[in-house]
A = this chain, B = another copy of it.
Amino acid sequence: MTGPAKAKKIDHLSFVVEDLDEALEFYVGHIGLEVVKVEESELHGVKAAFLRSADVMVEVIQPLGPGPLADFLERRGPGFHHVAFEVEDLDEALAATAEAGLRVIDTEPKPGIEGGRISFLHPKSTFGAMIELCDKKEFERE
């Protein structure tokens, strides 16, 4: 039995923090994850580190201004933010989740920080978890 979203693998985990440099001392210095890159994204209003643990990426994200991530930090404190499952085709996966009656936050794909296309499911339909579906296709603005 496999579902309509057909997750291929876990693409990444994402943690939101108040201070990226301090958090990296932990994730790199103590857990031993490998830094792939650290960058600021004006589009997303964040400073983010992309770390690797075997073939799963670990994003550690510090919001640089107001927005959903800053709201999350304010409301729940720092920690785990979401897990992303890679699907072959995000349009098909979104059509399937819509047909199944699942609520989504992003009814249309949006560009990921690291490229590709992403959509978040609504936690009301995921038993409370923040779950992103993503594919590796290029985002095309209409």
Which residues of A approach B to under 8 Å, CB–CB? 1-10, 13, 15, 17-18, 22-23, 26, 28-35, 53-56, 58, 76-80, 83, 85, 96-97, 100, 102, 123, 125-131
Residue in B26, B34, B83, B123 whose beta carbon sits within 8 Å of that of A13 in the complex? B83
Known contacts A53-B9, A79-B129; A3/B31 CB under 8 A: yes
| Residue from A7, A35, A76 with most neighbouring chain B CB atoms (10 Å) | A7
Q: Closest B-chain residue to A97, C-beta based? A: B30
How long is the Cα–Cα vector from A91 to B8 in the complex, in angstroms? Answer: 34
How long is the Cα–Cα vector from A11 to B91 in the complex, in angstroms? Answer: 30
How long is the Cα–Cα vector from A129 to B79 in the complex, in angstroms? Answer: 4
Known contacts A83-B80, A128-B78; A31/B53 CB under 8 A: no
CB-defined contacts of A123 to chain B, threshold 8 Å? 79
User: Nearest chain B CB to A101's CB is how many angstroms away?
Assistant: 10
